[in-house]
Structure 1
């Protein structure tokens, strides 16, 4: 184990290795695994480490008398990454729930809500007890699968996958998250730039999808990269540039921020 400021480095907890590549940020309660290019929250880690689902994590945490996250912070019961223990109740094209509207306004992308849906669903634990939730939903390329986000958690319903939005363009813009995609559209509207229909858009939804994304990117002659300015974003950008040397790394535009959404929020105020 090595410590550097608020970062702690460990050996890979999922397989044997000799060099520490598992980094934990104790400030943000997040982790990044360099050997895979994967990252996540405390709950994401426990789901994988314990080989269980969110219900199993909650049950495990309730049995740990001294359990805390990477830092002293209560595990969020509402943070969900579900696979087969959920049921979609309804999917609405219009965002109407006040909490979701407030969240979009806070993130400064309310004007781009046409790309999102409002989803209501329930999740069952191993005893069959169900809890109901609602969230913003961004469809990915897999059938009946959505990337979810609200003010207190994010996750996925169905299969984790990338999202490709086609406008019959030879140019594709690449993002990590759908909030960065929406932020780019909002920034372009503010500055009266080219119409959004001029480009195709590829949203990774997770850096773990980068290898699959490379296959889609072969269909384009121009690639514009707007990944995050962090370890995962650096890995994704590097992989794209290795395969497409003429791709353009556009992150200089928001070099003082973690991502495009932070850049947008700074431009139009908190």
Structure 2
């Protein structure tokens, strides 16, 4: 199936079907649907869901100013990345799978503590192969190889530390936000190199892609999730110029608007048509600059 057609079909799934499956209560109004933000532990409606001119359903949470398609909703519900969310929706609604829907746990209750066993230079052959598959050949010093343990099981991946001391980690199996303390918040990552330019990304692989492009030496800010945008805004005032390489989805566009409102016109946007910078780089798309 063509990728664009597949994504359109996913975004056009009837809300009665997907909301019932996800266990989200809703009320149909004459021109929209309202629902509570259950991922924030809310019981009163704060989410509006409407259909656009293309037949796709879009939601907006007025309590957090987040929104997007069903893909974005699943990402918020389960802390999944884009690829995992699309795979779940594809298998659940476009295939013949009897895949079970995970239980929604409010973010305030999502405390996943781990034991960090080792942090070192990236050297494991499986991780290096994983990076090469994403076209990451140059491995910067700030990217680390982590080994950790959860309930007696051991895992390993590549990641970077956030400003709160937690870790954002990726491997072939998925994405984790690792905390060693139950009261430790997950936040953005800031890699400082002494530059007056700051490049801003949503995810780890977009920042790694920027390092491959070698277009300009900059400090790096990895949001790790657009939920961290408000906290990260305070970092911007220390820089003369921002380079924005945010995703081409609703969450990325909203983050871009917030940054522009805060920072003004001293912004350079990276332009590409793919979903994110790494995908554009991976498929050889020409990346342009717009000041």
Please state if 1:165 is matched with 2:191: yes
Do 2:37 and 2:47's aligned partners in 1 also have CA atoms closer than 8 Å? no
Quote how far apart the aligned CAs of 1:112 are.
Answer: 2.4
Q: TM-score, normalised by structure 1?
A: 0.69
- Show the counterpart of 1:5: 9
Residues of 1 paired with 2:59 and 2:171: CA distance? 22
Distance 2:112 2:147 in 1: 16
CA deviations on 1:92-140 (whole Å, 9 max, x unpaired) are: 22x222221111000011312433111111112xxxxx22111112122
- C-alpha root-mean-square deviation of aligned residues, in Å? 3.4
Could you tell me how far apart the structure 2 residues matched to 1:87 and 1:210 are?
A: 28
Aligned twin of 1:141: 163
Correspondences of 1:23-172 after superposition (within 5 Å): 34-35=61-62, 36=64, 37=66, 45=77, 71=93, 72=97, 74=99, 83-93=111-121, 95-124=122-151, 130-143=152-165, 145-158=166-179, 159-172=185-198
CA distance in 1, matches of 2:46, 2:228: 26
Q: Distance in 1 between matches of 2:37 and 2:92?
A: 14
**1:43·1:75 contact (CA, 8 Å) conserved in 2?**
no
- The count of corresponding residues between Structure 1 and Structure 2 is 220
With normalisation by structure 2, the TM-score equals 0.65
Q: Deviations over 1:151-202 (max 9, x none)?
A: 12101112311111222222211111121111012122xxxx43x2xx2221
CA contact (8 A) 1:86 1:123 kept: yes
Structure 2 segments unaligned to the other structure (5+ residues): 1-7, 20-34, 52-57, 80-89, 180-184, 286-291
Change in CA separation of 1:113 and 1:200 when aligned onto 2, cut-off 3 Å: closer
Alpha carbons of 1:75 and 1:203: their partners in 2 closer, same or farther (altered >3 Å)?
A: farther
> 1:207 corresponds to which residue?
226
Q: How big is the shift at 1:257? A: 0.6
* Structure 1 counterpart SS, 2:224: coil
Residues in 1 aligned to 2:229 and 2:174: alpha-carbon distance in whole angstroms:
23
Secondary structure (helix, strand or coil) at the match of 2:282 reads: helix
Q: Contact 1:12–1:33 (CA<8 Å) still a contact in 2?
A: no
* Runs of 4+ that moved beyond 3 A: 31-35, 38-44, 68-77, 81-85
- Whether the 8 Å contact between 1:174 and 1:204 is mirrored in structure 2 is yes
Give yes or no for contact 2:47–2:60 (8 Å, CA) kept in 1. Answer: no
Find the residue that maps to 2:208 and give its secondary structure: helix
Distance in 2 between residues matched to 1:113 and 1:32, nearest whole Å: 38
